[in-house]
Amino acid sequence: MQPQPNSSPSAQVPLWRQLQGAASILLAVRDGQSMTPALDDVDAQLRPGVQALAFHALRWLGRAEALRQQLAKRPPPPEADALLCVALALACGDEAAPYTAHTLVDQAVEAAKRSDATLHQASFINGCLRRFLREQGALMALTEKSPLAVWNHPQWWIDRVRKDHPTQWQDILRANNSRAPLILRINERKTTPAQYVQALLAMDIGAFPIGDHGVVLTEARPVMSLPGFTEGHFSVQDAAAQLAAPLLLDGLMAVAGEGQPRLRILDACAAPGGKTAHLLELADCDVTALDIDAKRCERIAQNLTRLGLQAHIVVGDASRPGNWWDGRPYDGILLDAPCTASGIVRRHPDVRWLRRPTDIAQLAAIQTRLLATLWPLLKPGGRLVYCTCSVFRAEGEQQAQAFAASHPDAVLMPSPGHLLPQGSVKGAVFPDNLMREHDGFYYAVLQKRSA
């Protein structure tokens, strides 16, 4: 299960220790490491508070770096710079903190003193932070000249979103900097969204339905504490991702009558198994869940076991079907292709700082190869749903249109296209986002012409 970013720093752990942990996460991200494994290295007692601080710091990192440049023209050593930027991000953010600004400064200096790597920078950090408190208005105004500070995204990312979505780019970037709610997908083999909402309300847990299969909690909670977790009543899955299985099945179930063989479906790049599970929750079908990572395939098995579902789990490279395919064509293929993850930044705020401009073309090439390789595995009359959690058109609209143009037997069916990220509280309602709450995604439904 994905840990929730909405957790508050633990009051049982000194703030200075949590600041040290958050600074270590920022150091790892700056070194090119994903936040998820970096968090796994944090002591379990510290992890909830460190995660909350690190999420906040990464959302406000552009502003924090711009402020640090105003406070110190030359950056301090990496460890001290990470701690200072974490503290500045927490001091300048617009979210209410459970501590005063002076407490933050005091604890940041304490964090510096408690580490050999930052001990000799404690006075420097103290001076920078106290100057920020004295001159906050003027310093913030100076950073307004920097797009990096205003939008808290790298400049190349801002430029790319603006090019791809010229009328909506600002709303997309704002949504990326918002907190994502905890969204559940209800296992309708065991209960319904309406019934589950009532079960939550009976425990004084605020919730409301979203889409056909989802429930949004008004306040995030540990998923294992929610009713029905052990019994497999729900999974954690964003509302946009919940569209994948219905998009594939709706077209296939319409032509599958009684007495016909069970649908054979391939879920390529399936780990951790959310979409595999949704397919099995909605239809009696034979699903092959394929992923190149053996450990991630173990997660597929674990998730399906909790939900009371079964699939044929295969460790293999989707681009090399000769190593795993039995030669029998599939009725449907779900290709959730590797991508930049530019649509799920609000859930993974490190993504924007980890990606490089060249990643888009490299990943688009992989997507092109996967589409071309998997298409021959589909029966005539079958459907392939291509999706990415990206807002970049090179990984979505351009990819699908190029594929359809180069494959005469492919028909691009009416599809959702680019779903742009938006939270339910703030921002404009995009025409494609009537649910008012989901991550950025792209969907194309491709049907193979019958012979």
Region of 381 please: left (phi>0), alpha (psi -120 to 50) or beta: left
CATH T-level fold of 15-152? N-utilizing Substance Protein B Homolog; Chain A (1.10.940)
Taking residues 217-240, report their average pLDDT. 95
Token reading at 23? 């600074």
Task: Give the integer Cα–Cα distance in Å for 136 and 172.
Answer: 27
What mean pLDDT comes out for the span 190-197?
Answer: 96
pLDDT at residue 4, as a whole number: 39
| Model confidence band, residue 259 (pLDDT cutoffs 50, 70, 90) | low
101-118 per-position pLDDT tens digit: 999 999 999 999 999 999
Query: How crowded is residue 380: how many other Cβ atoms within 10 Å of its Cβ?
Result: 11
Cβ atoms of 286 and 264 closer than 8 Å: yes
Q: For the ranges 247-256, 383-392, 432-441, which has the lowest average pLDDT?
A: 432-441
Say what the pLDDT of residue 12 is: 76
The answer to whether residue 258 scores a pLDDT higher than 80 is no
End-to-end CA distance of the chain: 43
| Mean pLDDT, residues 198-209 taken together | 95
Which position has the token pair 């039995």? 326
Domain 183-236 homologous superfamily, CATH: Sun protein; domain 3 (3.30.70.1170)
- C-alpha to C-alpha distance for 70 and 218, rounded to whole angstroms: 38
1 has pLDDT over 80: no
Angle at 259 between CA 254 and CA 265, to 5 degrees: 55
Helix (H) / strand (E) containing 410: strand 410-412
Q: Could you tell me which of 422, 415, 280 has the C-alpha nearest to residue 344?
A: 422
Closest C-alpha to 108, from 15, 9, 29, 246: 15
- Average pLDDT value for residue range 439-444: 96
pLDDT at 173 over 90: yes
* Average pLDDT over all residues of the chain: 92
Kindly state the average pLDDT of the residues 170-178: 94
Q: Where is pLDDT greater, at 10 or 417?
A: 417
Q: What is the mean pLDDT of residues 195-215?
A: 95
- Domains of the chain, residue spans: 15-152, 183-236, 241-448
User: For the domain 241-448, what is the CATH code?
Assistant: 3.40.50.150
User: Average of pLDDT values for 157-179?
Assistant: 96
CA distance 115 to 407: 60
Q: What is the DSSP string of 193-229?
A: HHHHHHHHHHTT--EEEETTTEEEESS---GGGSTTT
**Model pTM above 0.85:** yes
Closest CA to 278 of 252, 244, 302: 244
Query: What pLDDT, on the 0 to 100 scale, is given for residue 101?
Result: 92
Q: Does the fold of domain 241-448 match that of domain 15-152? A: no
Residue 409 DSSP label: T
Residue-wise DSSP of 259-328: TSPPEEEEEET-TT-HHHHHHHHH--EEEEEEES-HHHHHHHHHHHHHHT---EEEE--TT-GGGT--SP
Q: Cα(314)–Cα(312) distance, rounded to whole angstroms?
A: 6
pLDDT in tens, 10-48: 557 899 999 999 999 999 999 999 999 999 999 999 999
- Give me the active site residues, please: 389
50-98: pLDDT as tens digits: 999 999 999 999 999 999 999 998 999 999 999 999 999 999 976 667 7
pLDDT reported for residue 261: 76
- State the Cα–Cα distance between residues 420 and 169, nearest whole angstrom: 10
Over residues 310-331, the mean pLDDT reads 97
pLDDT tier for residue 405 given thresholds of 50, 70 and 90 = very high
Question: What's residue 314's pLDDT?
Answer: 98
Mean pLDDT of 232-236: 98
Percent of the chain at pLDDT exceeding 90: 87
Q: What digits encode the pLDDT tens for the residues 422-435?
A: 775 443 333 343 45
| C-beta neighbour count of 322 within 10 angstroms | 9
Quick check: 184 pLDDT over 50? Answer: yes
Cα 59 vs. chain centroid, distance in angstroms?
Answer: 14
